[in-house]
Structure 1
Amino acid sequence: MELSRIGSIQQVLHRADFQKRISEGKDITLLEVFYPLFQGYDSFKIKSDIEIGGTDQRFNLLMGRQIQKHYNMPEQDIITLPLIEGTDGIRKMSKSYGNYIGINEQPNNMFGKIMSIPDNLIIKYFLLCADLPEIDIEAIGNNMKSGKLNPRDAKLNLAFEIVRIYHGEKKAQKAKDEFIRVFSKKELPKKRDELKIQKGRIGIVDLLLKCGAVKSKGEAKRLIEQKGVKLNNEVIGSWGAEITLDGGEILQIGKRKFIRIG
């Protein structure tokens, strides 16, 4: 009850995301209204002197200052950082959205994911995720605008710089060379998974399940409908397809997963 006197409904509902939902006729739960107070109270309890969060947390961070002031505590400083869109180029990067690039990803995986981002995010990723002087990043942006630099080449540089931070220059160069070899020269990756399976006829959906590429038949069907499955470089056109395995076939799922059938 004491907390509820510190903030006001007007303050909470002034948030841009709440205003948008109200205009769309969508509900806002009481828990969402009280959440900034609960988070702000944490700042008071731990005697926080500085708190860091994304720009979407600005209201909650400021509520922490308000609650600290109410309890006669020095108000914390806050630092907000820009949010970065994930590989889909639309939503903020999040594991729950499946559009994230983990800092503990394997070099080839990390490189491939970075190469999949939309071109309009290249400069933002350089600024927030790489370690280059801003004057160099500005030059990259200008060269892309003028047509002197192909966005794909800028992205190769970006992926190299980010992978280098987490895995070192050697592994970053190997990941770059492998990406160019597989996706530019259309060669098979040097490292690929192996699946031991009995030779003979098998449905493509069952094959995808057996190799662990999907978790359900529904997911397998969606992947095939999106033209995301190839066998020996031929697109599988129907989820009802049956194939004959003789051994040595290369199954490709999506852009980066390759499995050799044993």
Structure 2
Amino acid sequence: MRSGCGSCGNSRTWGTRLCLSWGDWTAQIGDPSGRSATRPMLTAEQVRENAATYMAQFFKIVDRDRTETRWQSEWFGDFSLTDVISLTSRFTVAQFLARDDFASRFKANQPIAITELLYPLLQAYDSVAIESDVEFGGTDQMFNLLVGRDLQQMMGQTPQQCFLMPLLPGTDGVQKMSKSLGNYIGIDEPANEIYGKAMSLPDDQIVPYSEYLTDIAEDEIDEMRQALGGSSVNPMELKKRLARELVAQFHDANAAREAEGHFERTVQGRELPEDIAEFALPPSEELADMRLSRLLVDAGLANSAGEARRLIDQGAVQIDGERVNEDSTSGVAAGCVLRAGRRRFVRLV
């Protein structure tokens, strides 16, 4: 099984067991898959930290007790230069430059590191090392998965089956879901966040999200598609069902009902949440020199200063119901309610 985190690998099934290999070694190299620039190298410690967070999410879906975990460094840790040369001799540079993202960067005179050309080979060798039967990946990984099949055949193994999955657009409905772009729904996020983010999706993403992420029956999804196309249903109702399905999967049905009630009160009814969090303001002299974007980050209402500035520029930040247009803390005082977007609130104390 392979995800977009750069830390996991392919899989082999024995009966009903899954062998999960984590790409801790190649993640330190960087993979351009679908990118217009080189992905930065990571340290071994960073990779392990990333893998731990992805494992916590992965095992919300897959049974941990029926999964064997392998680390890629088990076979690459002792790889010699002879092994590398032997591996590279099996493919040509022309084959790799035919890959779409490499080809576009080469044509645009953008740099392509030799380490990046090695990445598909190293990923392919994972399939050989664990004798993979099946490898899952996004459509941006098609080239790498097929190299794995070719290498397995060269090594006398039965080539793996490749399951390609469409890339899921983020909550903006345009760009691929990405934490760095802030357009993601996190598996381990609170129920209210998952529900609220699902409700922020563009209407044209209701069907793809229902199809890719839920167990809603295909005939029901077809009915959704027809109803939306014929404008015979309010998209809000279908979006609410999608949001409930997502929350129920990663929390439970009760949490889904509570999240829906919270959304209806705070977003649709414009009420303040009952359990609003509090944030202690810094001393007045420090607050006077603090930009509002910094305050939003410190209060947990934004993940970064960049996201905070975007919210302010979009008019999505309010103090006691009044929009704040300047990136400053004027008007901020104890007792005020600071709001960012539709779902994030803190009471300043």
TM over 0.5: same fold? Answer: yes
Q: The residue matched to 2:331 in structure 1 has which SS?
A: strand
The aligned residue for residue 5 of structure 1 is: 89
Cα distance in 1, alignment partners of residues 327 and 153 from structure 2: 62
The aligned residue for residue 211 of structure 1 is: 299
Unpaired segments ≥5 residues, structure 2:
1-84
Check if 1:254 corresponds to 2:338: no
**Which amino acid in 2 is paired with 1:35?**
Y
Cα distance in 2, alignment partners of residues 209 and 5 from structure 1: 51
Does the Cα contact within 8 Å between 1:6 and 1:66 map onto a contact in 2? no
TM-score relative to the length of structure 2: 0.68
Kindly tell me: are residues 42 and 210 of structure 1, through their superposed partners in 2, closer, same or farther at Cα, counting changes over 3 Å?
Answer: closer
Q: How does 1:230-245 map to 2 (within 5 A)?
A: 230-240=318-328, 242-243=330-331, 245=333
The aligned residue for residue 76 of structure 1 is: 160
Cα distance in 2, alignment partners of residues 116 and 47 from structure 1: 43
- Aligned-residue offset at 1:134: 0.9
Query: Which of 5, 8, 17 lines up with 2:101 in the alignment?
Result: 17
Kindly tell me: are residues 60 and 144 of structure 1, through their superposed partners in 2, closer, same or farther at Cα, counting changes over 3 Å?
Answer: same
Bigger mean CA deviation after superposition, 15-24 or 231-240: 15-24
The aligned residue for residue 53 of structure 1 is: 137
> Structure 1, residues 151-194: CA drift from partner, whole Å, max 9, x if none?
22221111111112222211111111111111111111222211
Does the Cα contact within 8 Å between 2:301 and 2:345 map onto a contact in 1? no
Kindly tell me: are residues 13 and 261 of structure 1, through their superposed partners in 2, closer, same or farther at Cα, counting changes over 3 Å?
Answer: same
Quote the sequence identity (%).
38
The aligned residue for residue 111 of structure 1 is: 195
> Structure 1, residues 109-138: CA drift from partner, whole Å, max 9, x if none?
100111122222111001001111111111
- Per residue, is there more helix in 1 or in 2? 1
Kindly tell me: are residues 6 and 17 of structure 1, through their superposed partners in 2, closer, same or farther at Cα, counting changes over 3 Å?
Answer: same
Query: Which of 163, 177, 184 lines up with 2:268 in the alignment?
Result: 184
Q: The residue matched to 1:172 in structure 2 has which SS?
A: helix
- Aligned-residue offset at 1:140: 1.1
Cα distance in 2, alignment partners of residues 200 and 108 from structure 1: 33
Cα RMSD for the two superposed structures: 2.4
Q: The residue matched to 1:251 in structure 2 has which SS?
A: strand
- Aligned-residue offset at 1:220: 4.8
Q: What is the aligned residue count? A: 261
The aligned residue for residue 313 of structure 2 is: 225
Cα distance in 1, alignment partners of residues 111 and 298 from structure 2: 43
Kindly tell me: are residues 114 and 214 of structure 1, through their superposed partners in 2, closer, same or farther at Cα, counting changes over 3 Å?
Answer: closer
